[in-house]
Amino acid sequence: MHPNPTDAAEIESLYRQHGAALLLFAAAITGERSRAQDALHHVFLKLIEDGNLRRALDKKAYLFACVRNAILNEAKIRNRHTPLDPDSARSTSTWFTPPDRDYAAEHNLRHALSILPRDQRAVIVLHIWGELTFAQIADLLEISANTAASRYRYALAKLRETMLPAPNTKEDPCANSRG
């Protein structure tokens, strides 16, 4: 079944609108931007071919679910379950456009995300950059909304601890020795 041009245009519009957040979500699961990109293309090409997006009530949440399922299926096919490699933060491929071109901060954020537990990482990406509500995340990940909110807060706290310097570390380490 081929979609009519209106459906295809709508799917392409959704790709432009949510593609960046979907790609980040996929990269947060796979740990590899190239695999994430492949999964995203696979999902959207299938949607264009089948044209079954019309049945989805919440199209944005449905797209995130499609991406997640595509990645999980691909992992099953590969018969491997690759955890996100913390060293991936050292790779040259960036995930974000940082504010004020602060690429050191972008590297820190990627590293902080990479060391989060997978469940927390998924929730924080979905809520902050995917802009999904906790109810939508709960449906997507098949957890309760309270669990989603709890994971989000834990993840946020860990990110803050990893990314932002603590008040005592901000002091000059040589200050005591001078005194």
Partner 1 sequence: MPIPEDKRLTNERLSNERPDHDRIDDQRMDDQRISDHQFDAEPIDEKFAAHLKEFRPLAPQPLPVESRALVPRRWFVVAARAAAAAAIFAVAVLAFRARPGRVTQPFENFAVADRLLKPKSLTMRTANALLATAPSFKDAIDEMAFPPKPAPLPADKHSALAELSKEKTKL
Q: Catalog residues that contact partner 1 under the rule CB under 8 A.
A: 5, 8-9, 11-12, 15, 19-24, 37, 40-41, 44-45, 48, 94-102, 105-106, 109, 128-129, 153-154, 156-157, 159-160, 164-167, 170
Q: Name the DSSP letter for residue 63.
A: H
Q: Which is nearer to partner 1, 69 or 146 (CB)?
A: 146
Query: Nearest approach, Cβ of 114 to partner 1 (angstroms)?
Result: 14
Q: Which is nearer to partner 1, 142 or 167 (CB)?
A: 167
Q: Which is nearer to partner 1, 76 or 164 (CB)?
A: 164
The 3-state DSSP class for residue 9 equals helix
Q: Is 80 exposed, middle or buried (0-12, 13-18, 19+ CB in 10 A)?
A: exposed
Residue 14 · residue 67 · CB < 8 Å: no
Which of 66, 46, 59, 62 shows the shortest CA–CA distance to 3? 46
- Residues, the chain, total? 179
* Rounded (5°) CA angle 140-143-144: 115
Query: Nearest approach, Cβ of 61 to partner 1 (angstroms)?
Result: 17
Q: Which is nearer to partner 1, 83 or 165 (CB)?
A: 165
Q: Which is nearer to partner 1, 9 or 72 (CB)?
A: 9
- Whole-angstrom distance, CA of residue 98 vs CA of residue 135: 29
Query: Nearest approach, Cβ of 135 to partner 1 (angstroms)?
Result: 18
Query: Nearest approach, Cβ of 21 to partner 1 (angstroms)?
Result: 6
